[in-house]
Structure 1
């Protein structure tokens, strides 16, 4: 199985800076989480290459997954045709994070290790991870 992650990089020199990673080996997930932990990394859009496209003409995916590491917490959101938009039910002490493409409410952050576990499961199954608890979220 394969997932691809693409994320913006905050840079004064290049307002369009970004990075990406394509992962086929579960051992590479720790590298992704580490790279998302960098202070200049933004929230990553993550898609599973093994899933059907929702629209082949536009290449639109049938799922929307965002991953982030900020202030020592990992954040993950998920939506597809079978699941309403949700974020992780995390540590109540985790702060909210507001970005351009996604907002994570207070209490939706988990340890980076838990985020890595969820992403490994997503890589393996292509489905919403069941190893973590989810809570409904607003767009």
Structure 2
């Protein structure tokens, strides 16, 4: 199985700075977590290469997964054709995280090891991770 992650890098000299990583082995998730933990890394859009497309003519995916690491917490959102938009049920003390493309509410941050376990589950199953608890968010 394969997942691909891409994310922006905040840069004063390059408005289009970004990074990406393709992962085929569970151990490679740790490298993604490390890179998302870097100070200027933004939230990563992640897609599973072995899922069906929602629309083959446009290449639109049937899922939307965003992961971020900030302040020692990991954040993850998930949406697909079988599940409404949800974030992790996290540490009640974790702050919210807002970026241009995603807003994680307070209480949705988890230990980075929990985030890694969820991403490894996603890599292996191509489905919403079951090793974590989710809460539906209605914006």
Give me the TM-score of the superposition, normalised by structure 1: 0.99
Q: Secondary structure at the match of 2:22?
A: strand
Gaps of 5+ in 2: none
Output the CA distance in 2 between the equivalents of 1:123 and 1:48. Answer: 7
| Partner residue, 1:137 | 137
Give the drift of 1:86.
Answer: 0.2
User: Across the two proteins, how many residue pairs are aligned to each other?
Assistant: 139
The 5-angstrom pairing of residues 1-139 of structure 1 reads 1-139=1-139
In the aligned structure 1, how far is the partner of 2:59 from the partner of 2:20?
18
SS of the residue 1:100 aligns to: coil
Q: Secondary structure at the match of 2:76?
A: strand
- Please give the alpha-carbon distance, in whole angstroms, between the structure 2 residues aligned to 1:41 and 1:138: 26
- Name the SS of the counterpart of 2:117 in structure 1: helix
Please report how far the alpha carbon of residue 137 of structure 1 lies from its aligned counterpart in structure 2 after TM superposition.
1.1
Aligned residues: CA RMSD: 0.6
TM-score normalised to structure 2 length: 0.99
> How far apart are the structure 1 equivalents of 2:28 and 2:137?
29
Deviation, structure 1 residue 138: 2.9
Alpha-carbon distance between aligned partners in 2 of 1:138 and 1:36, rounded to the nearest angstrom: 26
Distance in structure 1 (CA, Å) of the matches to 2:56 and 2:40: 33
For residues 21 and 42 of structure 1, what CA distance do their matches in structure 2 show?
14
Q: How many Å apart are 1:56 and its aligned residue? A: 1.0
